[in-house]
Structure 1
Amino acid sequence: MEQYLTLCKHIMNSGVTKGDRTGTGTKSVFGYQMRFDLSEGFPLLTTKKTAFRLVVSELLWFLKGDTNVKTLIQANNHIWDEWAFEKWVNSEEYTGPDMTNFGVRAAKDPEFKNVVQQQMDLFCEKILSEDAFAEEFGDLGPVYGRQWRSWPTMDGQTIDQLRNVIEQIKVNPDSRRHIITAWNPAEVDEMALPPCHAFMQFYVANGKLSCQLYQRSADVFLGVPFNIASYALLTHLIAKECHLEVGEFVHTLGDAHLYVNHMEQVTTQLEREPRALPQLLLNDQKESIFDFEIEDIALEGYDPHPRIKAPIAV
């Protein structure tokens, strides 16, 4: 994962200081590309522990076309909680403590962070126990899963982009149209968070499947390690169904940034030596990408450095 560490160094040394939507502030570069040969090992970061189980459960959530955090919370995956929580605390139904700019404030105030966590725990409890609450506040709008599996057409129909691409890879592997987009201009304003990893293209050559992702906005410390692992896993799953080997994952970034409140953590990470990459294990009994469950996907030989905690910018 030297490519990732080189990106971190590049941003710290050459990035420009920019404001951002969250009010946190970043150092940023524009236009950057990394390439990962998936035959050399699964590209999960080893300079800090990255929760592969969360990568898996989120990707399966996308694959099922789901857009409600209830499914993730049931799987003990809380990486999307903040965006659904924000919807609740900004609503008329919320009567608790003031949560304005809760992400930024919690990062600076340990006492307020505890208050936020109490309200977040209450929110998750209500999501799991109250169906009407989950339907209203758990749904994130037409985010990734909706666009991948049910892109709406003008005549009221939907397009299953993912299934269509898999079928085309099987019957017409040399096509240059193996494309899935999550960026739907007609529905961006309805999404809790507009797609960051927005556009992917698959490529078949010499019996190997490669994937290139264009990511418009890249939180390099927290988000990008997940994105690399998620799309590498997606490439493996599609390759398996299509009876192909894996080739490269090509990761093209638009605005690649480090938040200013992550700089100490990045410095710690850069002081660590990368370790050997793990190997991905998939259940051979599963034929279709749509049949996989969390227990069908595992890693072998993952020996990372300890986790490095950092606040998420909402």
Structure 2
Amino acid sequence: MSIADGIFIDMCKDILENGVSTEGEKVRPKWEDGSDAYTIKRFGVVNRYDLSKEFPALTLRRTAIKSCVDEMLWIWQKKSNNIHELNSHIWDSWADETGSIGKAYGYQMAVKHQYKEGLMDQVDRVIYDLKNNPYSRRIMTNLYVHQDLSEMNLYPCAYSVTFNCTKEKDSNQFTLNAILNQRSQDVLAANNWNVCQYAVLVHMLAQVCDMKVGELVHVIADAHIYDRHVPLIQELIQREPMDAPDFWLNPDIKDFYEFTVNDVRLDNYQTGPQITNIPIAV
């Protein structure tokens, strides 16, 4: 079975068996009917994915790879905070009448900062350092900008990525690793979505910087399963996992800003049935 399925199953079992319930407590999220959305939560979940061994897409149910890549590129490549530049509707609940989600996500990526090497935004700084300073321990992005939080329609969940390069003995090529830090995650709705997004990002950056892919480490401060998701999760983790899909990234693309969703593909991707109409707390 795929390694990613095993990681997901173990995480969900741990949350259900050892997590803490927020039922009856004061919580912010609400269901569409206005009732409180309670969770079973686990603090400090850390999952490691070796991207050199497999692409970590779940087979228990299908992850829509083109849609999740589209959202990742919306943030990292388009550096946009307007849903009119996004092809899915996942951000509709947090957008204003103009389509803006405020000074969040892509907005922060587009802000230019003065460095001694010149004026760059966060994405360009990452690419510059990967190409010029691969052993730097300062290659990271941060979307959690306190001075702008009041103007964000949703505080960033996946808020920081730290990149780290290693080189195997007798190798002339660097290996690119990354840590994704997430303050909060709805495990059913978003876990594998985020994992696949940042796995693709590592593959893309490795390719344009002439590196190999290494590990993606996913750190989740508050990993939770909503009360109305519990039976869905229980059914999902009882399914039989299948083999991991084959990942394809267009090898002709050498500029990060030239990638499109059509340059990413999962071949031989066999999965269990999709779970539809997942209730989302806002």
Residue-pair matches, total: 258
**Greater helix share, structure number:** 1
Residue in 1 that maps onto 2:143? 182
Q: Which amino acid aligns with 1:8?
A: C
Question: For the residues of structure 1 that align with 2:229 and 2:119, how far apart are their CA atoms?
Answer: 40
Q: Which amino acid aligns with 2:280?
A: I
Question: Which aligned segments of 4 or more residues in structure 1 are displaced greater than 2 angstroms?
Answer: none
1:43 alignment partner, one of 27, 48, 56 = 56
Any idea what SS the aligned residue of 1:222 has?
A: helix
Q: Which amino acid aligns with 2:7?
A: Q
Measure how far apart 1:271 and its partner are: 0.6
Residues 150, 158 of structure 1: 8 Å contact kept: no
Any idea what SS the aligned residue of 1:186 has?
A: helix
Residue in 1 that maps onto 2:33? none
2:252 aligned with 1:269, yes or no?
no
User: Gapped runs of 5+ residues in structure 1?
Assistant: 88-135
Residue in 1 that maps onto 2:68? 55
Residues 1:216 and 1:254: Cα distance change in structure 2 (over 3 Å) = same
Measure how far apart 1:159 and its partner are: 4.5
The aligned runs of 1:1-314 (5 Å cut-off) are 1=4, 2-18=6-22, 19=25, 20-22=27-29, 23-62=36-75, 63-72=77-86, 75=87, 77-84=88-95, 87=96, 136-150=97-111, 159-206=120-167, 207-309=174-276, 310-314=278-282
Measure how far apart 1:82 and its partner are: 1.9
Measure how far apart 1:29 and its partner are: 1.0
Q: Which amino acid aligns with 2:56?
A: P
User: Gapped runs of 5+ residues in structure 2?
Assistant: 30-35, 168-173
Question: For the residues of structure 2 that align with 1:163 and 1:151, how far apart are their CA atoms?
Answer: 9
Q: Which amino acid aligns with 1:43?
A: P
Measure how far apart 1:245 and its partner are: 0.5
Residues 179, 202 of structure 1: 8 Å contact kept: yes
Question: For the residues of structure 2 that align with 1:205 and 1:50, how far apart are their CA atoms?
Answer: 30
CA deviations on 1:244-300 (whole Å, 9 max, x unpaired) are: 010000001101100001001101111112211112211222111111112121111
CA deviations on 1:144-192 (whole Å, 9 max, x unpaired) are: 1111232578xxx974111111110111111100110111101112111
Deviating more after overlay: 140-149 vs 213-222: 140-149
Q: Which amino acid aligns with 2:267?
A: E
Measure how far apart 1:306 and its partner are: 0.9
TM-score, normalised by the number of residues in structure 2: 0.88
Any idea what SS the aligned residue of 1:4 has?
A: helix
Question: For the residues of structure 1 that align with 2:146 and 2:120, how far apart are their CA atoms?
Answer: 16
Any idea what SS the aligned residue of 2:242 has?
A: coil
Residues 26, 259 of structure 1: 8 Å contact kept: yes
Seq. identity, %: 36
CA deviations on 1:67-114 (whole Å, 9 max, x unpaired) are: 111121xx3x11112222xx4xxxxxxxxxxxxxxxxxxxxxxxxxxx
Question: For the residues of structure 1 that align with 2:215 and 2:64, how far apart are their CA atoms?
Answer: 22
